[in-house]
Structure 1
Amino acid sequence: MKRTLVIGDIHGGLKALIQVLERVKATVNDTLIFLGDYVDGWSESAQTIQYLMALSETHQCIFIKGNHDVWCEDYLRTGEANSTWLFHGGRLTVESYKGISEEDKKTHLNFFERMKLYYVDENKRLFIHAGYTSMKGPEQEFRKSNYNWDRTLWEMALVMDKRVQRHSVLYPKRLKLYKEIYIGHTPTLYYNITVPMNAINVWNIDTGAAFTGSLTVLDVGTKKYWQSDNVYKLYPNEKGRN
């Protein structure tokens, strides 16, 4: 049976990624949609990218670009490390690239450059790292950085009164555009929740792998999900982004 599996923010936790994909028993028939933030947090950011590149050769993969990926892409292109990025997990990413050849760094840069800003499947389901503000959808977004940074979409979905029906003029136009919307970027740990969250038709799959949470994979068809161990337990001598 073919599945569409969506994967939350990894943040350099390669051990968690390998573990959860083993639990999912992902096959070549599955479509794997990664929501971004592959780097920054744990010590295996460069190794995570290498693993994902190899995975894409054997599986159907779609890679969305997150805000941390934008930082890392800039670093690989220029060799300069943004101080804000370094503070938010970039230091360990730079460390992870010290054993990587210049040729491989160029291959990684090309991988980042090919990532999608968002993806819409045949069932009108949107996959995006953070969000968008345009009532006409992300393709009409004025500030493209919102794809990687916006939290207003998720915040709006959270506060939506469930009594407001989809046909109502009060129903947000942004949410009417798609059957479902899948995001990462905002850890569910912010709400003291360790599993995927659903608000109206928006699903948040970032379960805090960068911090004290786990990495999550969700089947968009059935809403069944799988999780890794808490990532910090897989890297007992590290602090992640804590």
Structure 2
Amino acid sequence: MRTLVIGDIHGALKALKQVLEKANVSQNDTLIFLGDYLDGWSESPGLVDFMIMLKIQKNCVFLRGNHDELVLHWLQNNHDNPMWYNHGGESTVKAYSSVDQKTKENHIEFLLSLKNYHLDEQNRLFVHAGFTNLKGVTAEHFPRMLYWDRTLWEMALSLDPSIKKDSPFYPKRLGIYKEIYIGHTPVTQIDKTIPVNKGNVWNVDTGAAFKGPLTIMDIDTKEYWQSDPVYLLYPNEKGRN
């Protein structure tokens, strides 16, 4: 009965199938997906189909990422966003060009069902990006920050490891929860390709959108499994590079 957390996938269905197999995922496991399922590699529509199937077969929690919101707006309104298009959206637009309307409607329904955060019985928080309110995610005045914020991770990175959780200098945001699991900001930015722990924050985005692997991690044991570097699984594509 493991709880497994999965980092940002960005359309890499091959990588997701690979890590689920490596982790030997069973019906007894709970899977918590941290968001950003779309934009990057070419299999975004197939990935959503696969996750809809997983939702039926296994105990899954699907969180909302910023790219998932951007794709939802495009699917609903054909919203033209040049910045999104140049940061992974182009591959999504191309991939959906051969998808029928009924499937698109199913995908819209799935994207609308995504959660902004998940808090478990042990006070462990799962959120795509972060939060800004000193009282935690339930008091967040700007819900979109839950899947856009980068300041929580920046704060965790800059935290002096000698400052203990009971110190008045320990950041109030971090002290609310036992552990915090995030994606959104790839650890490849600090030259890592494995999950990174700073304070009580675990960043599981190991750069699958770029040159890194996709990661799935057991939150109790901290054991993790990784796909091949995703760009090797899609040798004729550029991802979000």
2:159 matched to which residue of 1?
160
1:13 matched to which residue of 2?
12
Amino acid paired to 2:150:
R
Structure 1 residue ranges, 4+ long, deviating more than 2 angstroms after superposition? none
Q: How does 1:40-119 map to 2 (within 5 A)?
A: 40-119=39-118
1:191 matched to which residue of 2?
190
- TM-superposition CA deviations, 1:144-171 (whole Å, max 9, x none): 2211111111111111112212111111
1:208 matched to which residue of 2?
207
Amino acid paired to 2:15:
A
- TM-superposition CA deviations, 1:92-139 (whole Å, max 9, x none): 101111221111111100100000000000110000000001110011
Percent identical pairs in the alignment equals 54
Moved more, 117-126 or 90-99: 90-99
User: What is the total number of aligned residue pairs between the two structures?
Assistant: 241
Q: Tell whether 2:2 aligns with 1:3.
A: yes
When the two structures are superposed, what TM-score results if normalisation uses the length of structure 2?
A: 0.98
CA contact (8 A) 1:188 1:207 kept: yes
Where 2:4 maps in the other structure, the secondary structure is strand
When the two structures are superposed, what TM-score results if normalisation uses the length of structure 1?
A: 0.98
CA contact (8 A) 1:184 1:205 kept: yes
Q: Distance in 2 between matches of 1:147 and 1:46?
A: 24
In structure 1, the gaps of 5 or more residues are none
In structure 2, the gaps of 5 or more residues are none
CA contact (8 A) 1:14 1:47 kept: yes
1:39 matched to which residue of 2?
38
2:137 matched to which residue of 1?
138
CA contact (8 A) 1:47 1:96 kept: no
Q: Distance in 2 between matches of 1:211 and 1:162?
A: 29
Q: Distance in 2 between matches of 1:41 and 1:100?
A: 17
1:81 to partner: Cα distance: 3.3
2:127 matched to which residue of 1?
128
Amino acid paired to 2:215:
T
Amino acid paired to 1:56:
K
CA RMSD of aligned residues (A): 0.8
